[in-house]
A and B are shown apart, each in its own frame.
Chain A
Amino acid sequence: DAGVTQSPTHLIKTRGQHVTLRCSPISGHKSVSWYQQVLGQGPQFIFQYYEKEERGRGNFPDRFSARQFPNYSSELNVNALLLGDSALYLCASSVGQSNQPQHFGDGTRLSIL
């Protein structure tokens, strides 16, 4: 079975641009979460979506937004990119029930010039 897939794997943008990152969850998983991992740090929670509804939002500015589609895939959008947005963006899926693990994709490496 396919794991969590993310696209693109790498992306280079300049300050002020916007970016859209995509995630396909494991088949049967209804929950998708997004995390930002800056080099040398642990991942930081950005959003969780379950059944197309936002369930949680981390401490990120409104430049960050996301949505989940009827097939449970998800997009993360970031507007007005800043140098500090350079990071590995990780998507994780789960069945959405309590006490279930999250399964991560390999991430999108975003570099802002």
Chain B
Amino acid sequence: SQQGEEDPQALSIQEGENATMNCSYKTSINNLQWYRQNSGRGLVHLILIRSNEREKHSGRLRVTLDTSKKSSSLLITASRAADTASYFCATDLIQGAQKLVFGQGTRLTINP
């Protein structure tokens, strides 16, 4: 079963607009990570946020984490056509193995 659930499943916006994707999870986590996947390719790591952190920035990306609500959000500002991809959140559970549990992803389309 999936630990994380992304919302929305699909998002289409105009270039230059901001895109916000949300992720909810069910159990306690060690950290939460966001990945991007272009069609048919591997996943690219975007940001890792630890369970004791609330917000992190990387370039045009901003990630928030609310452990009390078991939710996270990814904001992409000033979107570009190259941001078109699927975005996944993945939780790293508090266990011995470094096992990522992924949601089903948000398909983001940036229209020129």
Contacts and interface: CB of A to CB of B under 8 A. Distances in A.
Nearest to B43: A104
Chain B contact-residue range equals 20 to 34
A105 B102 CA distance: 16
B40 A55 contact: no
B98 A96 contact: yes
Nearest to A33: B98
Chain A contact-residue range equals 20 to 34
B33 to A, nearest CB: 6
A44 B105 CA distance: 12
A50 B98 CA distance: 10
Given A88-B40, A106-B41, A55 B33 contact: no
B96 interface: yes
Contacts, number: 73
Given A56-B99, A109-B40, A101 B30 contact: no
Contacts of A8: none
B64 interface: no
A108 to B, nearest CB: 10
Interface in B88-112: 88, 90, 92, 95-105
B50 A56 contact: no
Contacts of A43: 43, 88, 100, 102
Contact of B42 (A56, A58, A99, A106): A106
Interface of B: 2, 4, 30-31, 33, 35, 40-45, 48, 50, 88, 90, 92, 95-105
